[in-house]
Structure formats: C-alpha cells, structure tokens
C-alpha cells in the first residue's frame, strides 16, 4: 500500500485579460519612417496583457493560469486556436466586434521597437454579464486573481472592482497590472499593484514616483506597489519602505514587448509560492529581462531568468515608517 502523501497541486491563477490582441510581428533590417519598408520576417500569435501574463506563468512553471477574455471575428478565432495549441486554458466570450490586431515593428539596425495598436472592439452589457458570471462562478477553484490590461469599449464601469471585491471576500490575493478605473479598483481590495513609472505618474498626477507609490499604500488596502521603468532600475513600495532593484545591462535585446506582463505573471507566481513581495518582484524583473532577449512577446528562458536574478541588487532607499 502506498502510504505517502500525494504531491501538492500547483496553485491556479484566474487571469482576467478582457482585451486581448492578435499580434503581428514584422522584422526589418532597417525601418525607415515615411518610406516603403519590406519586412524580412513575419510572425502572428496570440497576445495582449492577459495572454502574455498567462504565458509567463506557464513558462515559470510553479502555477497554472487560465485566461478569461472577450474575443471576436477571425482574429479572435485565430487567438483561441493559438492558445489551445500552446496549452493555455481560456474562457472566451464571443463578441460581434473583431479582436484587435496589434503590429510590432522590429528594426535590427537600430535595435528598436515600434508598436501599432488597433482600436479595441465594443462589448455589450450581455457580453459583460456573461464573462463576469463565468469568472465569479469559477473563482472558488482558483488561488489568486490577476486583473490585466485595458478594458475594451463598453459599459465596464465597476467591472474590475466587482471582481476584486469578490476575490478578496473569498480570501484570494489580487494583483492588478492596469490603470483602468484605477481608484475604484484599488479601493475594492487589490493587494498587489504592478505598473510602470509613466502610468503611475499619469494616474496620480505626481512628479515623484517613489512618493506616489508610498501614498498609494497609505490610501488603499495595498500591500505592495511594484513600479518598472523600462531598462532603468525598478522599485517596489512595501511595508513603508522603497526597495530599489538594479536592472542589468542586456546585450542583444530583441523585443521588449510584453516584458512588463512577464514581470507581473512571475511575480504573482512567486507570491503564491511563498516569496515576499520584494523577492517576488525581483524574480519577475529577471524574467522580464530574459524576455527582452527573445524575438516574440512574453517568451523567455527560465534558466536565463534565474541567472539574471542572481546578479540583481536590492537596496532599501527609504526608511520604514512605524
């Protein structure tokens, strides 16, 4: 008789990414604005913040993601089929509008990226009710909720806040990687925020990002506010202090698109594994750095991420408050 205990199932993350995209990547030897440019390579695949977040969770390998989203038209069908082949579980509400197609332009000569984003489709009250009902019905089977990205057009006031409130009521941590309906959603009980410095300053009207992050911890029931700044050092406000994390120089950067989504997905995975917010954010940043070395959004090598993490430094730059 086998008397050993059965292995513990990995935690599950419900990823609400309501505004996905069908992502086209075009690679040019040199991209010249205002001229005819002929791409050397072309790739199409599922993307958007929720999808990229889920892809990062799956690659990191310590949690299992499931995406809830609106999709429509040929782009939506292609997106869902791609997720099926990739092995990412998804619950999609089919809408009348077409899922947006976003185009990434990569220039080899100047090592730069240009992103072209189509308008979002419009969702109806019935679409919203369907997705909300399925998220709330499924929530008991998950260990955490992630709110990812922009909302499509439609009557979505209170959508993120309602989901956050129900997750908190059920005792599940909520991470927000979005500035949509910012104040009302944070007030609903979001524990962890991950956005970039430009978004933070825009949404708060502040000029000092560190002070703004600490103020968010004072105003809302947040446990941590993690702030990225592209290739520059990032920081996280936690327990009344600012913890600044160095970002190493990355030779051979290929495509930074989706790096922030990777950071969020790995951060929440690590939080569920028992890491504190500073260590979880550091792992997320390392994975984000590794993803910048890949050609396609939100892909990374876990071993490379761990190597990068070993070389990162953490400095507490503000005194703890009592």
95-136 pLDDT, tens per residue? 999 999 999 999 989 888 899 999 999 999 999 999 999 999
Supply the pLDDT for residue 2.
54
Supply the pLDDT for residue 13.
98
Using DSSP's 3-state secondary structure scheme, residue 216 falls into: helix
In this structure, what token pair is assigned to residue 12?
A: 């599950």
Task: Evaluate whether residue 4 is within a structural domain.
Answer: no
pLDDT band at residue 318 using 50, 70 and 90 as cut-offs:
low
Task: Evaluate whether residue 2 is within a structural domain.
Answer: no
Task: Evaluate whether residue 321 is within a structural domain.
Answer: no
For residue 75, the domain's CATH number is: 3.40.1190.20
| Residue range 39-50: mean pLDDT, rounded | 95
Task: Evaluate whether residue 257 is within a structural domain.
Answer: yes
Supply the pLDDT for residue 245.
96
pLDDT tens per residue across span 231-259: 888 999 999 999 999 988 888 888 888 99
Instruction: Answer whether residue 3 shows pLDDT above 60.
Output: no
Four-point Cα dihedral 184, 185, 188, 189, nearest 10: -140
Instruction: Answer whether residue 169 shows pLDDT above 60.
Output: yes
- Whose CA is closest to 188, among 145, 232, 152? 145
Task: Evaluate whether residue 32 is within a structural domain.
Answer: yes
Domain range spanning residue 148? 12-316
Q: List all residues 6 or more positions away from 27 whose beta carbon is below 8 Å from its beta carbon.
A: 39, 40, 41, 42, 106, 108, 295
Task: Evaluate whether residue 161 is within a structural domain.
Answer: yes
Using DSSP's 3-state secondary structure scheme, residue 125 falls into: helix
Task: Evaluate whether residue 7 is within a structural domain.
Answer: no
In this structure, what token pair is assigned to residue 277?
A: 């917010």
Angle at 165 between CA 162 and CA 167, to 5 degrees: 110
- Whose CA is closest to 228, among 250, 196, 205? 196
Number of structural domains in the chain: 1
Supply the pLDDT for residue 248.
87
Tokens 């008789």 appear where? 1
Task: Evaluate whether residue 6 is within a structural domain.
Answer: no
pLDDT band at residue 230 using 50, 70 and 90 as cut-offs:
confident
User: Hey, how many other C-beta atoms are within 10 angstroms of the C-beta on 244?
Assistant: 16
pLDDT tens per residue across span 54-90: 999 999 999 999 999 999 999 999 999 999 999 999 9
End-to-end CA distance of the chain: 55
| Residue range 172-186: mean pLDDT, rounded | 97
B/e letters for 207-238, b = 16+ CB within 10 Å, e = fewer, are eebbebbbebbeebebbbbbbbeeeeebbbbb
């Amino acid at each position: 008789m086998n008397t050993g205990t059965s292995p513990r199932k990995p935690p599950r993350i419900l990823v609400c990414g309501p505004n996905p995209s069908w992502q086209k990547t075009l690679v040019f030897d040199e991209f010249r604005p205002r001229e005819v440019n002929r791409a050397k390579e072309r790739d199409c695949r599922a993307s958007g913040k929720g999808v990229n977040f889920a892809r990062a969770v799956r690659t990191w390998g310590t949690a299992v993601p499931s995406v809830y989203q609106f999709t429509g038209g040929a782009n939506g069908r292609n997106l869902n089929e791609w997720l099926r082949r990739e092995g990412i579980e998804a619950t999609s509400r089919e809408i009348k509008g077409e899922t947006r197609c976003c185009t990434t332009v990569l220039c080899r000569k100047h090592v730069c990226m240009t992103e072209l984003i189509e308008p979002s489709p419009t969702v109806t009250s019935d679409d919203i009710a369907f997705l909300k009902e399925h998220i709330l019905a499924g929530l008991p089977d998950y260990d955490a909720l992630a709110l990812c990205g922009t909302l499509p057009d439609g009557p979505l006031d209170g959508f993120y806040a309602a989901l956050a409130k129900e997750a908190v009521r059920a005792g599940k941590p909520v991470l927000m990687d979005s500035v949509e309906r910012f104040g009302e959603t944070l007030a609903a009980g979001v524990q962890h925020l991950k956005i970039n410095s430009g978004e933070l300053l825009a949404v708060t009207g502040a000029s000092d990002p560190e002070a703004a992050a600490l103020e968010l911890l004072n105003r809302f029931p947040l446990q941590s506010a993690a702030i990225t700044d592209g290739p520059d050092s990032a920081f996280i406000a936690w327990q009344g202090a600012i913890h600044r994390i160095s970002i190493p120089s990355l030779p051979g950067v290929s495509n930074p698109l989706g790096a922030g989504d990777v950071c969020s997905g790995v951060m929440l995975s690590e939080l569920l594994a028992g890491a504190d917010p500073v260590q979880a954010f550091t792992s997320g940043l390392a994975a984000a750095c590794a993803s910048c070395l890949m050609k396609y959004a939100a892909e990374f090598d876990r071993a490379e991420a761990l190597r990068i993490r070993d070389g990162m430094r953490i400095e507490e730059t503000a005194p703890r408050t009592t």
